[in-house]
Structure 1
Amino acid sequence: MRRFIVTAVSCLMATATFAEDLDAKTATDLLAQAKQEGKVTVYAFTSRIGRVEKAFEAAYPGIDMVTFDMSSTEQIARIKSEAQAGLPGADVIYISDAPVVLTELLANNLVVSYVPPRVAGTVADQNKSPLLAQRLSTKVLMYNEEAHPDGSPVKNLWDLTKPEWKGRVIMVDPLQRGDYLDLMTEIVLKSDEMAKSYEAAFGKAIALTDGNENAGEQFISDLFANDLVLVGSTDDVNKAIGAKGQEKPPIGFTSYSDRRDNEDEGWALQVANDVTPSNGIVFPAFLALNPKPANPAAARLAVDFLMGDDSETGGEGFKPFYVAGDWATRSDITPHKDAIPLADFKGWQIAPAETAKIRADVADFILALQ
């Protein structure tokens, strides 16, 4: 028994040392082993990973990148079930929904951190610990700029609860997608700001109705009472809001970066930035590793590639994300010329640990409203 324990501990120490050795290697140093592995599997919460796959395989012939596009909520469930069943899963996890990722995946060693040495000095501490954020993304209020050429028809979040927007506010069901639940949770966390905005919208102090403990809950209750439209996907939201030719299009919460598809899809999506107290949330998109990746060198090479090359725009690896509405965490990547500077953006930047504390309670609150 003692020999078995000593052997097991030695194996764990050897594995840790091996990982540390790989973590310190440059992309050039990783390449030979990555080519021997010949493959890397990536779970990603964005369809843009398909473009990364093509670019990666062009940059590194002989290494097959196998990608799976699924929401962060789906990824979290899959990672947990694979770990429980002892299945290998993905080598690289590209995921949002930070409150759950940090408290349920990272805390239970279902994902681990990796920061490529090449970019470590260009990423602020809060964006590389406890996990590496590749970019900052959003769930914010968007409107149809063809129907509203003079700017957003909404200047205060409470306007969404008024009769003129009854049945005309749309979003993905927050009980189905974590990023939207994080949005609702942030509104509750920012109840003091919501109370001040209520007074600005209606000219009187907020009065809470039965069952609502703060201004954030009151807003969510009033929004549901105003016939909030819940759909199954962000694409559904974008089509409903952005389709051209509408006389009275809906308004709703989606990703600022989805404006990139306006030309291809025939949409007229625009972000409502001048909104009190905020237009929504800004959150990190994490890159992490499986703690026991089947292809450890290729996994690190893929993360390095996704962080972008040393050019001003991040090159082919970052190209799908170099759009207005996504902000690179690397300080040496030039901000997109069409983007609202992050410092001027009205979205609340979430604090995942604070969100995690009340997220389940907010979900229960919303379930009762449905």
Structure 2
Amino acid sequence: MKANCTRRGIAIATLSAALLAGMASPGPAQEAFDLDALIEAARAEPPITVYDSTGKIVDMAEAFSSTYGLDATGVKVSATAQFEQITREAQSGNVQGDVALITDTPAAVAQLLPRGYVESWLPPDMEDKIPAQFRNPLAITTNANVFAYNTEVHDTCPVTNMWQLTDPEWQGRFAMVDPLTKGTYPDWFNQMETYGDELVAQAYEDYFGEPLVTDQPSATAAWVVALAESGPLVTDGDDAISEAVGVRGQADPFVGLLSSAKFRDNEDQDHALGLCSEMRPWVGWSYTKLGLIASGTDSPNLARLFIHYVLTEDGIMPQMVDGKIPTNSEIAMPDDEPSGIMEVHDLVFGYDSASALEDWDARQDWQDLWLVHLSR
């Protein structure tokens, strides 16, 4: 599943050049950052449009406009569609989306940034607040997918080990988003193989009482194959998983893997979703949402001001209540965040963008492995 080293080296060099060009692009000076000066410069520029994969961006853009007396419009666009739109707009020289808040980090690192379609800009006054692994390219949040169960039927999560999901007992009773339609899932597989394969192997031994023996190239690959062969319910989104797991009145509900944001369904739709805090080796996994600026925007200062805004508590709060964790380390999660993820945050498998290029190159391999072994 590993990427070609020569290809990766070329991509890294190209990416580095693109990022250096982005940091040197027109706008307020890095050495003497002045937020007031940025605001004044933004006032002379046309309105901006911001792409994001959550509808919360509409409220965020409205709040930004109200705060600064400037005009920003938020548009909900899936990560896949963002990639396609950004590419088309850049190639045609007709930029419509000035800012992209995009969750497909590998696509951005492998395709958008090296080609100069977008730029990554870290506000200098935010540098000390953003951990190094989230600075280049700039990530504004980490977004979690977690294992969940029905609290009406079970007092605690009935699954406590990732390999338990491959047991005949759970055949056809586990729900997840289709890895063939959402790239963050095969990226997760590749990240596990790269950074957590020993823990996957240890989890097998903990559950079955003997070491893993497999003809697959890694413990992670063996788990992916076993999970696919167990016939999980695969969906095109988290709504269906929330229903399969959380709807009340079920005799035998699914266990599922879904966005922590869906725990708001407990209040909005009277679901009974509970976080599988006992699951090992991880209760879930996260991916990053990048904050990028279109290189061809007519409003570079206004776009940068928006990036600065979403790194503040007021700016990112609409997404925090859905369990999105800001990369700004000085911002605390709200007490009423519905999933309870912060209580087990150290058990969430985090995304490391250092291998984003390998994730991109391996994505199709993982999807092929899944498809070949998927039991219908």
Q: TM-score, normalised by structure 1?
A: 0.85
Matched residue of 2:149: which SS?
strand
Q: Counterpart of 1:163? A: 168
Q: Counterpart of 2:134? A: 127
Counting matched residue pairs gives 346
1:68 to 57, 65, 75: 75
2:279 to 275, 278, 281: 275
Q: Counterpart of 2:248? A: 244
Alignment of 1:1-370 (within 5 A): 16=24, 18-21=26-29, 25-61=33-69, 63-128=70-135, 130-148=136-154, 150-189=155-194, 190-208=196-214, 212-308=216-312, 314-315=313-314, 317-323=315-321, 325-337=323-335, 339-341=340-342, 344-354=345-355, 356-357=357-358, 358-370=362-374
> Which amino acid counterpart does residue 328 of structure 1 have in structure 2?
P
Distance in structure 2 (CA, Å) of the matches to 1:246 and 1:325? 26
Matched residue of 2:285: which SS?
strand
Distance in structure 2 (CA, Å) of the matches to 1:50 and 1:86? 25
Q: 1:88 to 1:333 in 2, by over 3 A?
A: same
Whether contact under 8 Å (1:23, 1:300) holds in the other structure is no
Shift of 1:47: 1.9
> Which amino acid counterpart does residue 95 of structure 1 have in structure 2?
I
**Unaligned ranges ≥5, structure 1:** 1-12, 309-313
Distance in structure 2 (CA, Å) of the matches to 1:17 and 1:103? 20
Give the share of equivalent positions with the same residue, in percent. 29
Q: 1:345 to 1:82 in 2, by over 3 A?
A: same
Shift of 1:111: 1.6
Whether contact under 8 Å (1:139, 1:180) holds in the other structure is no
Whether contact under 8 Å (2:133, 2:353) holds in the other structure is no
Q: 1:51 to 1:146 in 2, by over 3 A?
A: farther
Shift of 1:178: 1.6
Q: 1:354 to 1:324 in 2, by over 3 A?
A: same
Distance in structure 2 (CA, Å) of the matches to 1:306 and 1:344? 22
Whether contact under 8 Å (1:27, 1:304) holds in the other structure is no
Distance in structure 2 (CA, Å) of the matches to 1:289 and 1:114? 8
Q: 1:153 to 1:17 in 2, by over 3 A?
A: closer
Distance in structure 1 (CA, Å) of the matches to 2:343 and 2:138? 19
Matched residue of 1:104: which SS?
helix
Shift of 1:283: 2.3
Whether contact under 8 Å (2:50, 2:61) holds in the other structure is no
Shift of 1:118: 3.4
Matched residue of 1:288: which SS?
strand
Shift of 1:169: 1.0
> Which amino acid counterpart does residue 171 of structure 2 have in structure 1?
K
RMSD over aligned CA atoms reads 2.5
Distance in structure 2 (CA, Å) of the matches to 1:260 and 1:27? 35
**Unaligned ranges ≥5, structure 2:** 1-20
Q: 1:343 to 1:160 in 2, by over 3 A?
A: closer
> Which amino acid counterpart does residue 260 of structure 1 have in structure 2?
R
> Which amino acid counterpart does residue 145 of structure 1 have in structure 2?
T
> Which amino acid counterpart does residue 336 of structure 1 have in structure 2?
P
Distance in structure 2 (CA, Å) of the matches to 1:24 and 1:281? 38
Q: 1:273 to 1:345 in 2, by over 3 A?
A: farther
Distance in structure 2 (CA, Å) of the matches to 1:153 and 1:17? 53
Shift of 1:20: 4.9
**Deviations 1:215-261 (Å, cap 9, x if unpaired)?**
21221111111111111112222222222222221112111233234
Distance in structure 2 (CA, Å) of the matches to 1:321 and 1:144? 24
**Deviations 1:163-206 (Å, cap 9, x if unpaired)?**
22111111111121122222232343333222221121112222
Q: Counterpart of 2:14? A: none
Q: TM-score, normalised by structure 2?
A: 0.84
Whether contact under 8 Å (2:27, 2:301) holds in the other structure is no
Q: Counterpart of 1:311? A: none
Moved more, 234-243 or 339-348: 339-348
Whether contact under 8 Å (1:156, 1:277) holds in the other structure is yes
Distance in structure 1 (CA, Å) of the matches to 2:345 and 2:192? 19
Shift of 1:344: 4.5
Distance in structure 2 (CA, Å) of the matches to 1:203 and 1:343? 26
Whether contact under 8 Å (2:93, 2:296) holds in the other structure is no
Distance in structure 2 (CA, Å) of the matches to 1:195 and 1:355? 23
Whether contact under 8 Å (1:157, 1:279) holds in the other structure is no
Q: Counterpart of 2:8? A: none
Q: 1:194 to 1:142 in 2, by over 3 A?
A: same
> Which amino acid counterpart does residue 320 of structure 2 have in structure 1?
Y
Return the index of the structure with the highest Cα Rg: 1
